[in-house]
Chain A
Amino acid sequence: MSTWQRIFDFRDYGQLLPLVHNSLIAGVILGVVCGLISTFVMMRDLPFAVHGISELSFAGAAAALLGGVSIALGSIIGSLVAAVIIGLLGVRARERNSIIGVLMPFGLGLGVLFLSLYNGRTANKFGSLLGQVVAVDTVHLGYLIWTGSIVVVALAIIWRPLTFASTDPEAAAARGVPVRLLSPLFMLLLGVTVAVSIPVVGALLVLSIVCTPAAAAMRITASPVLVPVLSVLFATTATVGGILISLGADGIPVSPYITTISFAIYAACRVTGWVRARRGWSRRLDHAVAVAVPDLG
């Protein structure tokens, strides 16, 4: 069998499709949750923090695997510990980056240690690092549905003040927004999101659905309504599309399909945004300046 056929294989597709019913639902939930959260990851300049959290989450998952307890539980504990540490110690951007730089290799190292000590099936072994071959059982799906709902509802409640605090913290504080409370709260929500994404895309590739979708959306629009909507659309396209294409593939995890689709969307948005900035915005700006000049007097 050629390499190409190993990557893309759609024989017996009709029979395979019903088997991934749950995976597809999981893909939609992840798309919605990650698409929304990625809007704030971009606004608050947190992609590196996402990476730091996911590495500690991986350590938690590996520890759970070794200890024979729920991997999901280990993953979420690792995630939340990292989110709290980064949230408490990394208030300023520079401090935050150094804290993450310190935490990340430590978490990854711990994870490698736990995996090396583990004697079970190798398929489980690297799943939480590099993503799984499609399989989401019902237990996992139920867990995904309720954690996802918590994150979406919490985000909806803090949406406006969080947007204000993320784009102009000084003015937000002056208007009475509890800026210092929102920051750790968001880190917790981010921690939960990262933890539930890890079993599907893997700790090393989480950024592809927690950062890339909004980064792509922000290239083509500045509307605070359209950015999260497009971001959810992009993230869902990547997860569901990735699952569908990977279906017939021979032993290849779903993650490379998801990351590739996500990247392709970003590339397309970047080109579109570039063309638009050259044409649309600059032309309207000339107009704006022409109108504004008489007021300057």
Chain B
Amino acid sequence: MTPVLELHDAALAYGDRVLWSHLDLAVERGEFLAVLGANGSGKTSLLQAILGLQPLSSGRVVVGGQPARRGSRLIGYVPQQRRIDPLTPLRALDVVGQGIDGHRWGIGWPSRSRRRVLEQALASVGATAYADLPVGVLSGGEQQRVRMAQALATDPQLLLCDEALLSLDLNHQAAITALLDQRRRSHDTAVVFVTHEINPILPYVDRVLYLAGGRFRVGTVDEVMTSDTLSALYGMQVEVLRSADRIIVAGVPDIHVHTHDHDAAVPT
């Protein structure tokens, strides 16, 4: 079976600053890939490239056998956790609906069959209870479930999550990651999860893509998350400590060149 996502000799550079280059990667159906790296290492840009919103400097991105393009129905996208304004005139159901037909021209009319689809999507993430509530009054964790339902509403083959757990409490982090794992098992959806913090997703991760200083490393958690590998990537001594179910990385330099909005946030 063809991989859901392929990168062939991909490179991305802003001017003469190379974020990553010679990146070859294939993500299979149902696989859970964590994308880790320091601030400004190009994690979010990688997602933008897969979404067809950021052209590569060289190489190719292939999604479901086709070159990456804007608005692909094969991809679901869960953006960074960000509070939705309390006065937003949308209910949870409407937010999910945007994932199905929010991009289409015209006004759009409600129908019973559409509502059924939306209710099913909300049910699949355990959000039925607040389907008709204004999305702005929901808690951060509830909003993130609704965003997941939106991303999954078209039953994508590939789910991209960009810091989807940021500023959620531990209970909600566990609930959301468990849902992701459940989904990839039931629907064979591949998950590419960009994060600062591997621990909340550690039980589910199949492979890790670690980006640092223009270089990268792909492999299982045991292969990549070691003192030797990360020290080689960063070109300086980095300590990786492992306890039963946690990984602690010490001594990673912060690269303050290209800052995204979330880069200022403290890992949870």
Report which A residues bind B (CB closer than 8 A).
39, 42-43, 156-161, 163-164, 167-168, 170-177, 217-219, 221-225, 227, 277, 281, 284-285, 287-289, 291-292, 295-296
Contacts and interface: CB of A to CB of B under 8 A. Distances in A.
Given A167-B90, A170-B79, A160 B105 contact: yes
A175 B151 CA distance: 9
Given A224-B94, A281-B137, A285-B130, A175 B102 contact: yes
Contact of B87 (A163, A176, A177, A218): A218
B47 to A, nearest CB: 9
11 contacts: A160-B101, A160-B108, A167-B88, A167-B95, A167-B98, A171-B99, A174-B51, A175-B102, A222-B133, A287-B129, A296-B175
Q: Which of A157, A168, A173 has the most CB of B within 10 A?
A: A168
Given A160-B106, A160-B108, A223-B91, A171 B127 contact: no
B219 to A, nearest CB: 28
Contact of B107 (A39, A156, A172, A277): A156
Interface residues of B, number: 47
Contacts of B90: 163, 167, 222, 224
Interface stretch (B4-12, B30-38, B69-77, B111-119): B69-77
Contacts of A167: 84, 88, 90, 95, 98
Given A171-B150, A222-B90, A295-B126, A160 B110 contact: no
A176 B102 CA distance: 10
A256 B108 CA distance: 37
Given A159-B108, A160-B104, A160-B108, A291 B134 contact: no
Given A175-B102, A224-B89, 11 more contacts: A42-B87, A159-B107, A172-B98, A172-B102, A174-B77, A174-B79, A175-B77, A177-B102, A223-B94, A224-B94, A292-B127
A217 B89 CA distance: 9
A157 B79 contact: no
Contacts of A168: 79, 84, 95, 98
A284 B108 CA distance: 28
B243 interface: no
B236 interface: no
B103 A285 contact: no
B110 A175 contact: no
A288 B129 contact: yes
B128 interface: yes
B186 interface: no
Contacts of B110: 225
A156 B151 CA distance: 25
Given A161-B102, A175-B99, A43 B107 contact: no
B59 interface: no
Interface string B53-64: 100000000000
B3 interface: no
A214 to B, nearest CB: 8
A174 B53 contact: yes
Contacts of B233: none
Interface in B131-180: 133-137, 142, 147, 150-151, 160, 171-172, 174-175
A38 to B, nearest CB: 11
Contact of B103 (A177, A222, A296): A177
B133 A288 contact: yes
A175 B126 contact: no
Contacts of B79: 168, 170-171, 174
B103 A161 contact: yes
Contact of A171 (B91, B94, B98, B106): B98
Q: Which of B102, B104, B128, B133 has the most CB of A within 10 A?
A: B102
A241 B101 CA distance: 38
Contacts of A160: 98, 101-108
A284 B131 CA distance: 11
Contacts of B70: 173, 176
A172 B142 CA distance: 20
Q: Which of B94, B151, B172 has the most CB of A within 10 A?
A: B94
B254 to A, nearest CB: 24
Given A157-B105, A164-B103, A177-B103, A222 B77 contact: no
Contacts of A281: 133-134, 137
Contacts of B102: 160-161, 163-164, 172, 175, 177
B88 A43 contact: yes
Nearest to A219: B87
Contacts of B51: 173-174
A160 to B, nearest CB: 5
Contacts of A287: 129
Contacts of B130: 284-285, 288, 292
A196 to B, nearest CB: 22
Contacts of A288: 129-130, 133, 142
Contacts of B95: 167-168
3 A-B pairs with least C-beta separation: A176-B71, A222-B134, A295-B126
